[in-house]
Homo-oligomer: A and B are copies of this chain.
Amino acid sequence: MGEHIVACDTLRSYCAKLMMTQNVPEEEALLIADHLVEAEMCGVSSHGVSRTSIYLKRLASGVVNSRWDHKVEQEYAASVQWNACNSMGMVTGVRAMERCIEKAAESGGCFIAVSHSNHFGMAGYYAKMAARRGMIGICATNAPPNIAPWGSYKAYVGTNPLAISAPRRGEPLLLDMAPSVVAMGKVILAAKLGKDIPEGWAITADGRPTTDPNLGMKGTVLPIGGPKGYGLSLCMDILCGLLSGAEFGPYLGNMWNDFINPQNVGHIFCAIDISKFTDLEHFRDRMEKMAGDIKALPKNPGVDAIYLPGEIEVNRRAAAAEQGVVLSQVVYQELVELGETYGVAPEI
């Protein structure tokens, strides 16, 4: 099967137009499209334009609201309890982190807990927003279950990602990790592409090892460090689901097959204003010192370079900005067909 190279601007504009067919306002459609294309540019195709199809289907069914809205239910100097009114997660994510940054610039730090939201893509996208403003950004979300508590084989918590980003002199450092050996998105993408998965990524619904992504999708992915990955995921659900008043674990709506009940996903956004602790330029100097030290460490046999968290994605993004992103035939074809279905000229 072939691959297609598409310019980033073209892909962004096309995805935005698709969103706009479902009454998403242009500004919001562009935010969503930017997120999906950013994921492709960074090589995180599990969270890229292959998600367009399910987002459109959910918008069309009315299970997600087309227009962004929110209600502030409680607010203090360093906290906001934010009801996302069942808006698109990617619009909520940007607006919540913008507010979090604003408040952290006053108070030193801020937490915004969001309820009644939907799938919001890559947590790292929002954490980086704070880092670009000279702050440490932290973001997490909960998700429907696909990790089993240690000792069981039955999923209860999601592969709830935790993202932490900090400013450097150039692009921010970004750790964006699921508490599993791999994100479930990678299992889903493998299924879509018809590829096997390595053993150790996932187990079947009755606890057996598997290399079939379709069985893995119905089972659970394995947590990193056994009880530690399970514990981290549970704590992210406490911060995202229980603190915000959103649903948690198995009570979250399923994005893929429930078009009647809103998901009621919860997120947490956090920003820490570095200048309220130390001189920002001194902080950046020390980040570069640390990065330089690490890059210069002796390498294991067969290792070309040692990377900082998120550095591989920064390199990929720079290449994609020049050369465009590479879409697999399956994902490309799906996008073209979406244009036909929703009446958008297939400009990609």
Interface residues of A (CB under 8 A from B): 74, 76-81, 104, 106-111, 113, 136, 148-154, 156, 164, 166, 173, 175, 177, 181, 207, 224-225, 227-232, 234-235, 237-239, 242-245, 248-250, 272-274, 276-278, 282-283, 286-287, 290, 293-294, 297-300, 303, 305-309
- Check B136 against A107 for contact (C-beta < 8 Å): no
- Check A234 against B81 for contact (C-beta < 8 Å): no
Interface centre among A81, A111, A232, A239 (most CB of B within 10 A): A111
Q: Return the contact of A151 from the options B110, B156, B232, B306 (Cβ within 8 A).
A: B306
- Check A287 against B238 for contact (C-beta < 8 Å): yes
- Check B76 against A276 for contact (C-beta < 8 Å): yes
Task: Name A226's closest neighbour in chain B (CB-CB).
Answer: B224
- Check A239 against B136 for contact (C-beta < 8 Å): yes
Main secondary structure of the interface of A (DSSP, over half): mixed
CB neighbours (8 Å) of A308 from chain B are 234
Given A109-B109, A156-B297, A300-B151 in contact, is the A79-B273 Cβ separation under 8 Å? yes
- Check B286 against A228 for contact (C-beta < 8 Å): no
Task: List the 5 closest A-B pairs by CB distance, nearest first.
Answer: A79-B108, A224-B225, A78-B78, A76-B108, A231-B309
- Check A235 against B109 for contact (C-beta < 8 Å): no
Q: Return the contact of A234 from the options B175, B245, B273 (Cβ within 8 A).
A: B175
**A243→B286 CA distance, assembly (Å):** 10
Nearest chain B CB to A39's CB is how many angstroms away? 18
Nearest chain B CB to A139's CB is how many angstroms away? 13
Task: Name A80's closest neighbour in chain B (CB-CB).
Answer: B108
- Check B276 against A81 for contact (C-beta < 8 Å): yes
Q: Return the contact of A283 from the options B177, B232, B242, B290 (Cβ within 8 A).
A: B242
Nearest chain B CB to A281's CB is how many angstroms away? 12
CB neighbours (8 Å) of A78 from chain B are 77-78, 104, 107-110
- Check A79 against B109 for contact (C-beta < 8 Å): yes
Besides A152-B298, A224-B229, A249-B293, 20 new A-B residue pairs in contact (Cβ under 8 A), listed by A number: A77-B107, A79-B272, A79-B276, A136-B238, A148-B297, A149-B306, A152-B306, A153-B300, A156-B297, A164-B238, A173-B234, A175-B235, A177-B228, A177-B231, A181-B225, A227-B309, A234-B290, A235-B309, A243-B277, A244-B277
- Check B107 against A272 for contact (C-beta < 8 Å): no
Given A79-B272, A243-B278, A286-B248 in contact, is the A228-B234 Cβ separation under 8 Å? no
Interface centre among A77, A225, A273 (most CB of B within 10 A): A225
CB neighbours (8 Å) of A229 from chain B are 224-225
- Check B151 against A299 for contact (C-beta < 8 Å): yes
- Check B238 against A300 for contact (C-beta < 8 Å): no
- Check A243 against B113 for contact (C-beta < 8 Å): no
CB neighbours (8 Å) of A108 from chain B are 76-80, 111
